[in-house]
Structure 1
Amino acid sequence: MSSEQPAFCYWCVTGAVQSGRGFAADRKIRGFTLIELLVVIAIIAILMGLLLPAVQQAREAARRTQCKNNLMQIGIALHNYEMAFEMLPPGVVNSAGPIRNLEEGYQMSWMVQLLPVMEQTMLFSMVDFSQGAYAAVNSPIRTTRMSVFRCPSDPAPPLAAAGGLIVGEASYAGCFSGSDKPIDADGDGCLFLNSGVRYREIRDGASNTLLAGEKQIVAEAGEFGWIAGNRSALRNTGVAISGGWDIVKPVAGGKPAAVVIPSVTATSGFSSHHTGGSQFILADGSVRFVSQNINVQTLSILGSRADLQVVGEW
């Protein structure tokens, strides 16, 4: 067996390296072409276009669930109040009616009465009931923003009342009547002026009577805070859902139409920022989403506690 090794040719190796060959002979390095890059960008854009609406819908579903939870807490508080006092709280306490949407009078709302049964005893103890809702001594309560009274889907920023005071707004309101009329002592709902409705007076049935529901917070229509027992805390079902005068409606050019206030006693109906309708508390304690396409007459019947009308499916 020969022990001779093959001769090493220096000039051959050097020439191969200089000519671009050698150990990586004929190997080419290439990147993406412009067309390939554009195709990848287009695919990513399509995926993002499909994904973002789904993420937004998931977020809105979560906000709607939180809103339902808020209403459930309010409904439980109403029932706890009723069990303690054998009647529902008065929708608004005032010496006389009809209630005017002005910073005048006593006008203490039903939401104030719920504070002790909503684990807000300290806040309730701060209320000076010898003074009205708009008294300076009650300003700390009026300016308190309660998360349980705000719908997460409502984008309204902190709003100022007529006096320039930043108030704690409410996305929910009690139902005082099945008819579109001013708030007064003749309300046929469950929460109206100086009311004290007992459950035996809800003759239409607790599962067919609305206690409260959602409303949009619209600064142009006037907001007085959840402490005030006017249109800020009470609405009627005589108006179609999201069909009232206090809804900001877009017009040509993308700018919202001006809100025209019919009168100082006008209340309007229920509304929300959820697609397709609003959520309501029924007198039996359940929370139900009601379509904005519901028959107006059916909605009116649901807002009345004892009109003895058959509702049927709704």
Structure 2
Amino acid sequence: MRLKYPHVRAFTLVELLVVIAIIGVLISLLLPAVQSAREAARRSSCQNNLKQMALAMHNYHDTYRMFPPARLSKDPKFGHMVGLLPFIEEGNVADLFDRTAPGGFADPSHQPLANLEVGLVRCPSNPITDPIKMRLSSSTGSSYGDFLTTTGTTSDPGAAGILTGWALDYWVNHGINSSAYELVNPGADRPSPIFKGDEPKMSKVTDGLSNTTMVVEHAGYDQHFVRGVGMPMPSDDVTLDQPGAWGTWLGWCAFMVQTYPSYTAETYPTTLRNIPAGTDCAINCNNSQGVFGFHPGGAHAGMGDGSVRLLAEDTSARVLMFLVSRDSAEVIDD
């Protein structure tokens, strides 16, 4: 007897292609939402880093009656993060730092510590995911600086013995660019930021702690970014006003904040020794001397009162210059 099997209709090639196309469209619609959710999580983590750092600054002030100076030690050199370690629950890490080591933050004995990824030093939105090579501080507008090695310096990025460390994404500004401030407040004396001088104190912040930045995103070291785009980095780079040679988290992570003209990566002048100040772009313009993060629409700032706010990319140069000063009695009116 001949068996009869039920007829099973298979997909045609056209139907299969249509299903694949529909799935592709659904995935394309879903991806932006997934990316947005991931960035929201990264932004929240970044805000928390700044919050914890701002609170550590206040705890340091409670203990020593002042904030940690931007350049906590000038000889040997190391920066404010070394002083903050006990106040961010990293006392054991602080014990590993030898404050008498002749090379300071760049002493070869500190290599294990410099390459330790302390939780608060990096913003998860930063595309640089590895420790950076340490460099000498360059001559402003002359070169990007040779690499530091265990025995000296070298201009060869592939040389053995180059010192490395994790970059810090949250810096203090120990100065305000005079040209930028003159553009927004002509004829006025250049004011001081919170971390001006060897004994920065709350009592010196006469503009109000909630109106004055304390720690800001200044990310992307040791590369050069303009409007989020990585720029070429030859050893004789003259486009950086002061590159992040000391950008590892143990070092002098302090800068003189500036605002910029409306350059893009394509129009950025690569032959100027000093990039002029401007009023067209204040946030996420240039990580050489600017407030700079990798978040769409803005960068974070930890304020003097311990709060954290997102400074939008459309923040005016006038508002930013007034926010980064502690003692000039400006009125933020826009």
In the alignment, which residue of structure 2 is the partner of 1:30?
9
Shift of 1:228: 1.2
Shift of 1:211: 0.2
Shift of 1:38: 1.9
Instruction: Compare CA radii of gyration and give the structure with the larger one.
Output: 1
In the alignment, which residue of structure 1 is the partner of 2:100?
130
* Secondary structure at 2:215 match in 1: strand
Of 207-216 and 160-169, more deviation after overlay is shown by 160-169
In the alignment, which residue of structure 1 is the partner of 2:257?
237
In the alignment, which residue of structure 2 is the partner of 1:111?
81
Of 278-287 and 137-146, more deviation after overlay is shown by 137-146
* Secondary structure at 1:309 match in 2: coil
Pair 267,45 (structure 1): closer, same or farther in 2 beyond 3 Å = closer
Matched, 1:226 2:229: no
Residue pair 1:153, 1:273 contacting (<8 A) in 2 also = yes
Q: Which residue type is aligned with residue 221 of structure 2?
A: V
Matched, 1:92 2:108: no
Shift of 1:168: 2.1
- Which ranges of structure 2 fall in alignment gaps of 5 or more residues? 135-146, 149-161, 180-189, 224-242, 276-286
Pick from 167, 170, 188: which aligns with 2:168?
170
Pair 171,258 (structure 1): closer, same or farther in 2 beyond 3 Å = farther
In the alignment, which residue of structure 2 is the partner of 1:5?
none
What is the distance in 1 between the residues matched to 2:315 and 2:46? Answer: 21
Pick from 14, 30, 33: which aligns with 1:54?
33
In the alignment, which residue of structure 2 is the partner of 1:143?
115
- Which ranges of structure 1 fall in alignment gaps of 5 or more residues? 1-13, 96-104
Pick from 326, 330, 334: which aligns with 1:305?
326
Q: Which residue type is aligned with residue 45 of structure 1?
A: G
Residue pair 1:143, 1:165 contacting (<8 A) in 2 also = no
What is the distance in 1 between the residues matched to 2:198 and 2:262? Answer: 25
In the alignment, which residue of structure 1 is the partner of 2:91?
121
Matched, 1:210 2:233: no
Shift of 1:244: 10
Residue pair 2:214, 2:304 contacting (<8 A) in 1 also = yes
Q: Deviations over 1:11-68 (max 9, x none)?
A: xxx5xx48x6xxx7xx533212222222211111110000111111111110111111
Q: Which residue type is aligned with residue 171 of structure 1?
A: D
What is the distance in 2 between the residues matched to 1:279 and 1:124? Answer: 26
* Secondary structure at 1:147 match in 2: coil
Shift of 1:179: 2.5
Normalization by structure 2: what TM-score? 0.71
Identity of aligned residues (%): 30
Residue pair 1:159, 1:223 contacting (<8 A) in 2 also = no
Q: Which residue type is aligned with residue 171 of structure 2?
A: A
Residue pair 2:244, 2:288 contacting (<8 A) in 1 also = no
What is the distance in 1 between the residues matched to 2:127 and 2:66? Answer: 34
* Secondary structure at 1:289 match in 2: strand
Shift of 1:311: 1.0
What is the distance in 2 between the residues matched to 1:37 and 1:199? Answer: 68
Matched, 1:199 2:202: yes
Residue pair 2:300, 2:311 contacting (<8 A) in 1 also = yes
* Secondary structure at 1:92 match in 2: coil
Shift of 1:269: 1.6
Pair 200,237 (structure 1): closer, same or farther in 2 beyond 3 Å = same
What is the distance in 2 between the residues matched to 1:259 and 1:227? Answer: 32
Of 40-49 and 27-36, more deviation after overlay is shown by 27-36
Q: How many residues align?
A: 265
Residue pair 2:191, 2:326 contacting (<8 A) in 1 also = no
In the alignment, which residue of structure 2 is the partner of 1:282?
303
Shift of 1:285: 0.4
What is the distance in 2 between the residues matched to 1:187 and 1:234? Answer: 17
Residue pair 2:207, 2:327 contacting (<8 A) in 1 also = yes
Shift of 1:177: 2.8
Shift of 1:154: 0.7
Shift of 1:91: 0.8
* Secondary structure at 2:105 match in 1: coil
Shift of 1:238: 2.7
Pair 143,33 (structure 1): closer, same or farther in 2 beyond 3 Å = closer
* Secondary structure at 2:120 match in 1: helix
